């Protein structure tokens, strides 16, 4: 199951993403926001999505704010979360193959919907490589104490 969260800056693109997932017959849990007109705080929606992944309700997430920057920063504060801000399909592919990203972040004021939906497909369809060097590097993200 895919969990979705956005702020007002990501609302319009998220509606396109939802339509696309509907057309593909993919289930999702939409945790808001519910309008592009009301200004909200992107960390609140990042936190909802993070919670749904960390408690096991969902295994992948998509977060969208105006740039994708703030909402990915907020999500990446949490151990076990690997949110990748992607602006093209190459980034989405490597985010899965190398980083085992569990959240895709995008900027609703940055990307056109054509590019964004291809990024979504790449993110959802690309498996983690299972490479040992990638597992080692991912483990260091969560396990290193400075």
65 is catalytic: yes
Do 123 and 102 meet the contact criterion of CB atoms below 8 Å apart?
A: no
Count of CB atoms situated within 10 Å of the CB of 39: 10
47 is catalytic: no
Least gap, CB of 49 to ligand RB5 (angstroms): 15
| Residues within window 31-60 making contact with ligand RB5, judged by CB under 6 A | 42
Identify which of residues 6 and 95 has a Cβ nearer to ligand RB5 in the complex.
6
From the list 28-36, 61-69, 85-93, 138-146, the region that binds ligand RB5 by CB under 6 A is 61-69
Alpha-carbon distance of 8 to 10, in angstroms, equals 5
Element counts in the chain: helices (H) and strands (E): 6, 5
Q: Active site residue: 65, 86, 89, 134, which one? A: 65
| Strand positions, DSSP E, the chain | 2-6, 28-30, 60-65, 83-85, 103-107
Task: Work out the angle at residue 95's Cα, subtended by the Cα atoms of residues 114 and 121, and round it to the nearest 5 degrees.
Answer: 30
| Residues within window 6-25 making contact with ligand RB5, judged by CB under 6 A | 7, 9
Should residue 61 be labelled a site residue for ligand RB5 when binding is judged by CB under 6 A?
Answer: no
Choose which of 4, 11, 67, 99 interacts with ligand RB5 (CB under 6 A).
Answer: 67
Binding residues for ligand RB5, rule: CB under 6 A, are 7, 9, 42, 65-67, 69-70
Tell me the catalytic residues: 65, 98
């Amino acid at each position: 199951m895919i969990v979705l969260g956005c702020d007002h800056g990501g609302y319009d693109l998220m509606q396109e993403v939802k339509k696309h997932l509907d057309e593909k017959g993919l289930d999702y849990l939409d945790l808001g926001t519910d309008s592009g007109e009301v200004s909200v705080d992107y960390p609140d929606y990042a936190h909802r999505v993070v919670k749904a992944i960390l408690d096991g309700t969902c295994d992948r997430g998509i977060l969208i704010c105006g740039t994708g920057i703030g909402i990915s920063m907020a999500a990446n504060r949490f151990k076990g979360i690997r949110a990748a801000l992607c602006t093209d399909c190459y980034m989405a592919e490597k985010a899965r193959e190398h980083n085992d990203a569990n959240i895709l972040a995008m900027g609703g004021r940055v990307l056109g919907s054509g590019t964004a939906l291809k990024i979504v497909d790449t993110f959802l369809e690309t498996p983690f490589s299972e490479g040992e060097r990638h597992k080692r590097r991912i483990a260091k993200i969560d396990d290193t104490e400075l």
